[in-house]
Chains A and B, each alone.
Chain A
Amino acid sequence: MRWLNRLAMRLRMLFFRGSANAELNEELGFHLEQQIAENRLAGMNAEEARFAALRAFGNPVLLREETGATWSWSALEQFVHDVRIGARTLSRTPGFALIAILITALGIGASVALFTVVRGVLLRPLPFPESDRLLTLYERSTPAAGGGDFPHNVVAGGVYAAWNRENTSFSSLALVRDDSADLSASGGQLPETLNGAHVSWNLFSTLGVNPAMGRGFTSTDDSLSANGTVVLSWSLWKRRFGADPAILNRIIYVDAKPYTVIGIMPAWFEFPDSSTQLWRAVYHEFPEKVMSAFDNHMFRVVGRLKPGVTAEEAEANLSVISRQIHDSHLDNPFVAGEANSRPLLEHLVGDVKRPLYMLLAATVCLLLIACLNVANLLVARAAARHKELAIRTALGGGRMRLLREHLTESFLLEASGGAAGLLLAYAAIGWLLHTRPDMARVGAIHFDGVVAAFTTAVVILCALFSGLVSAFNTDDTRLLGALHESSRSHSAAGKRARLRKTLLAVEVGLTVVLLMGASLLVKSYQRLRSTNVGCITDNVLTMRMKLPGKRYKTPGPAPANFFETLLQRVRTLPGVDAAGFVTGVPGQGYMGDTGFTIVEHPPLPRGNGNLAVYRAADPGYFAAMGIPVLRGRTFGDNQKLDPVSEVVISESFAKNFFPGEDPLGKHLHIMDGNKVRMIVGIVGDIRYEIGEAPEPMLYHPVFAGDQNYGTLAIRSRQDVSQLALPVQQIIQSQDHDLPVSDVLTMNQLLGKSTLDQSFDATLISSLAVLSLLLAAAGLFGVLSYVVAQRSGEIGIRIALGAQREQVLRGMLADGLRPALIGLVLGLGASVATTQFIKSMLYETQPLDPGVFAAVAALLIASAALACVVPAWRASRLDPMRVLRME
């Protein structure tokens, strides 16, 4: 019953609040009348009775308020009241409100956007069931025996087979190798090159995913003798096959071979990355020799741990198996003796983790700076209003009530800023998805409840921070002082300015940290882009192609003839200065390597070997790319097909393996293809990837006919991109079912491979510039305020004969002090924070003195610029006018 009464009471208080107030007035009025009546009875006259009653009654407003406070909803009512007051005071100073909201929107928008990305990419688990049990497994190759230093090496087919057979830790182990796939022209559609993957039949079940339509691979599909089968991605099925379910069980031609379409994967499924469009069975694609080799590292292995088994135990388990293989092949230096593992998620996002966390840290810095700026603005406002506040306190305004008002005001600002920031973040995410569709797990980025919660938390934290800083700055123990304070007294104003200067110093410090990070990354990026990759990069066009093995058998004459004819025809094209063909141009990546021994040298100790990056090139490639032939010559014209006997090595190859010796005329026994070749020339080093040191490199004639893929490079004196079409027409006329991919100029290719670095450097630079602007605005604001507060004093000093330039210098020093303190703090902090980005820097030291000096100079210049206007204004004060205003 009582709850019913209380509910009725609550509803009444909610809907009839006005009448409740009127009733309370009447009730208190009745009490007062009774008191007056009693006083009259005691013999007072009417006037006296009334005054005595009022005296006894106390402060009627306070009594009303205290009684009202016991009513239901009074907290809500007060909140609404505070919001109304807050909105009204803010709308009285729209400029201030707008600036504060804008600053907050920037800070919150940037951090919400980054948080959304970090959550989507790094924090959200992979979309597979029990994804925490999925590991990526590697072989750990150690440099000791000359087998190369690859702690996360890809796995050889034979090693996988042994792991799969003997391990006790995984419920299943699967193989993946990404590879391009050429779809043949069909149904009026052009041939095209796609990213595909070769997978063992159990990959989908290891991940725990079923095809959306049709079926996955079975173990019988996954063998050399089986008919070809292919699983399509949802997007390929929609785009190329018009989402026609009848495609199932039909035959399509991939790499000119027939495959039956057996399944379509769900739309969300992307593995190993978002560009993968079709999957084929790995044992059907690779010969038995590859799949059983122990030294031919080719595959990624994904494993699902058995319940209760830890990653360490599983890794140890596989290492034991690897060790046995290693020990029974001691003569082969390329057989690894250890296994390594990483969570699958970490493997997939490995490269973006550190930059993302760095950017998140940078946006948090920006947010903090934005908060400090808003706090600064609020302190200035509180200072401007401190007399009003003092009067309110004197009239009985409760301390809590005033504090609440402060908080409500800053909450209003932060909430509006947060709303605007959310829009900003939304736009930023849209932009990111548009510009970086290549980023790992980019599809997992979207707004959700967690992001909303994060935004709310950030808004509340910022509101508390800015509100409390300004509220605690209002010192009401010196209430009387504030009321007494005339415009000529400066003690309290001085104290407020001190707090603002402290805030500013922190702000400047954070800005310096951001500027340092940004400058280092920009410098590193410039270093990277100005790296000499070892060849001509201007006006060089590249395009990749892969001849289908079905029609161009390797080793064999078909690919060699194709490439030779192609080069001859391209070279006669008007506008073409030179053309060459190579399996990989600089900047395209490591591609592949081979072990070798030097015939003229004594045999290496058992289990040791030599390793070099391996390329196949035509004789004209070096001249076309401007790679200098340092000694000897390029391949002879007779180096075609069977009589091939020559190789060319790079400068670092010569230095590494022939110290103090003439390599020309020496012979190499190359493991890849088990052949002996004579060194006829030494060419300049190139970098297989921008940012990587040149590796020893070995060039084999491509006309030998044992490679059927590569990149055509064309150099011209005119705009080389205009040659793309005629060259593709030549290719089409030679083979109408041969797609060409990655048609890029050398500069585009290198730009693409440094996209990450340029992206990181650009983003963090814009964050740093923003924070510099905010800090400068803060300095400007504080110094202007100090000048306004002290104008009386300055006027008197000028009237008494102070030199204007002395005033200018004094004010400048006053403004620059917090900037300098902040600068020192920031530089100190940078020493620690830049270590964090050390691994992201290319040929740039985290403690680069030039960068430190540049940041310091930039900061001091900006600070001086921000201070000079108010300081100059102070020195120009007209003492007569100022003194008249007092």
Chain B
Amino acid sequence: MGKPSDLVQGTLDLLILKTLSLGAMHGWAIAKRIQQISSEVLQVQQGSLYPALHRLEQQGWIKAKWAESETGRRAKFYSLTTAGRKQMETETANWNRLSAAINLVVGEV
């Protein structure tokens, strides 16, 4: 149980924020979307997804609203707050810097 082995530590928050920047969606959809966009490489387990969502909500980066889902059942939809959008930009910049740096090192060898 617990941490997805195939996700770099701490990147799940960024993935969620990025996914939500496309629009409001519920937990299931977020997991599916990440899976799709990453061409099935990134599998987000519920065990990490929901704690992460709730943590982001507590920090005020995303907010939640109960609404009807596409199947007509009540679901909790998450969307970015203004602060969350800023946070996403900072984290994206960080990620770009970090991955570029890693690429440089890895490419060098």
Size band of the A side of the interface? 20 to 34
What 0/1 readout, one digit per residue, does chain A (840-851) give for beta carbons within 8 Å of chain B? 000000000000
What is the total of A-B residue contacts with beta carbons within 8 Å? 75
Taken residue by residue from 1 to 19, chain A's Cβ proximity to chain B (1 for < 8 Å, 0 otherwise) reads as 1110110010001000000
The reply to whether B46 and A27 form a contact with Cβ atoms under 8 Å apart is: no
B4 contacts partner chain A, Cβ-Cβ < 8 Å: no
Other-chain contact of B63, A5, A13, A35, A56 (Cβ < 8 Å):
A5
Contact between A1 and B82 (Cβ–Cβ < 8 Å)?
Answer: yes
Contact B73 A66 (CB under 8 A): no
- State whether A70 touches B60 (Cβ < 8 A): no
Contact present for A58 and B45 (CB under 8 Å): yes
B58 within 8 A of A: yes
Contacts of B76 in A (CB 8 A): 23, 26-27, 30
CB–CB B1/A59 < 8 A? yes
Q: Mark B43-63, 1 if CB is under 8 A from A, else 0.
A: 001110011001101111001
A515-530 at interface with B (beta carbon < 8 Å): none
Q: In the complex, are the beta carbons of A30 and B75 less than 8 A apart?
A: yes
Cβ contacts A50-73/B at 8 Å (1 or 0 each):
000000111100110011111110
Question: Can you list 17 A-B pairs with a CB-CB distance of less than 8 A?
Answer: A1-B82, A2-B60, A2-B83, A5-B63, A5-B83, A6-B59, A23-B76, A27-B27, A27-B50, A28-B46, A30-B27, A30-B73, A30-B76, A31-B27, A58-B47, A62-B1, A63-B46
CB nearest to B2 among chain A residues: A66
The CA-CA distance from A2 to B57 in the complex, in Å, is 11
Residues of chain A within 8 A (CB-CB) of B60 are 2-3, 5-6, 9
Q: Does A34 lie at the interface of the complex (its beta carbon under 8 Å from any beta carbon of B)?
A: yes
Taking Cβ atoms with an 8 Å cutoff, the residues of B that contact A are: 1, 26-28, 45-47, 50-51, 54-55, 57-60, 63, 66, 69, 71, 73-76, 81-83
Minimum CB–CB distance from B40 to chain A (whole Å) comes to 14
Contact between B81 and A70, CB atoms less than 8 A apart: no
Q: Which 4 A-B pairs have the closest CB atoms?
A: A2-B83, A70-B55, A5-B60, A34-B28
CB distance from B15 to the nearest CB of A (A): 17
Q: When the two chains form their complex, are residues A28 and B83 in contact, meaning their CB atoms are under 8 A apart?
A: no
Does any Cβ of B come within 8 Å of A756's Cβ?
no
CA distance A68 to B46 in the complex (A): 14
Task: Tell which of A2, A3, A58 has the most Cβ of chain B within 10 Å.
Answer: A2
The interface of chain A, by Cβ under 8 A from chain B, is: 1-3, 5-6, 9, 13, 23-24, 26-28, 30-31, 33-35, 37, 56-59, 62-63, 66-72
Chain B residues whose CB sits within 8 angstroms of the CB of A57 once the complex forms: 46
- The 8 Å CB contact of B28, one of A26, A31, A66, A69, is A31
A67 touches B50 (CB 8 A): yes
Residues on the B chain within 8 Å of A35, using CB:
28
Interfacial chain A residues near B45, Cβ < 8 Å: 58
Instruction: Indicate which residue in B51, B81, B82 contacts A66 across the interface (CB closer than 8 Å).
Output: B51
Given contacts A5-B60, A66-B51, contact A30 B83 (CB under 8 A): no
Residue pair A66, B47 in contact (C-beta under 8 Å): yes
Task: Give the distance in Å from the alpha carbon of A59 to the alpha carbon of B60 in the complex.
Answer: 28
Collect the chain A residues with CB atoms within 8 Å of residue B69's CB.
30
Complexed CA–CA distance, A2 and B81 (Å):
9
| Contact between chains at A67 and B73 (CB < 8 Å) | no
Which residues of A have CB within 8 Å of B54?
A: 24, 67-68, 70-71
* A31 CA / B69 CA spacing, docked (Å): 12
